[in-house]
């Protein structure tokens, strides 16, 4: 029927995969960001690597949060 919400339900396997990916991205992203912070503050030669880890870790954690929102849209 046109105009109705015609989202195709995801399989249980796909939902489980999304849920696992969410927590992997959030925890790994926060770990990488905190490691980057310590590298940036601790050693002068780790300054650039620290920023890279902080940015990429923050992006990974943000993607995990977005996936939580996407997962909440499905029953």
Of residues 35 and 75, more confidence is placed in 35
Q: Which residue segment(s) compose the domain that 52 sits in? A: 23-72
Domain contains 3: no
Mean pLDDT of 61-66: 96
Mean pLDDT of 11-21: 89
Domain contains 9: no
Q: What average pLDDT does the structure give for the chain?
A: 87
Domain contains 29: yes
**What is the structure's pLDDT at 60?**
97
Domain contains 14: no
Domain contains 18: no
Domain contains 56: yes
Full-prediction pTM beyond 0.85? Answer: no
Cα distances from 51 to residues 29, 40, 44, 54, in angstroms, run 13, 7, 12, 5
pLDDT band at 61 (very low <50, low <70, confident <90, very high): very high
Domain contains 50: yes
Mean pLDDT of 52-70: 95
Structural domain total, the chain: 1
Q: Where are the alpha helices (DSSP H) in the chain?
A: 12-42, 47-72
Domain contains 68: yes
């Amino acid at each position: 029927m046109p105009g109705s919400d015609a989202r195709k339900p995801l399989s249980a396997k796909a939902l489980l995969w999304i849920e696992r990916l969410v927590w992997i991205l959030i925890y790994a992203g926060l770990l990488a960001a905190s490691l980057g912070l310590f590298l940036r503050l601790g050693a002068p030669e780790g300054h650039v690597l620290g920023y890279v880890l902080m940015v990429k870790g923050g992006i990974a954690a943000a993607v995990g949060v977005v996936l939580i929102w996407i997962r909440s849209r499905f029953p």
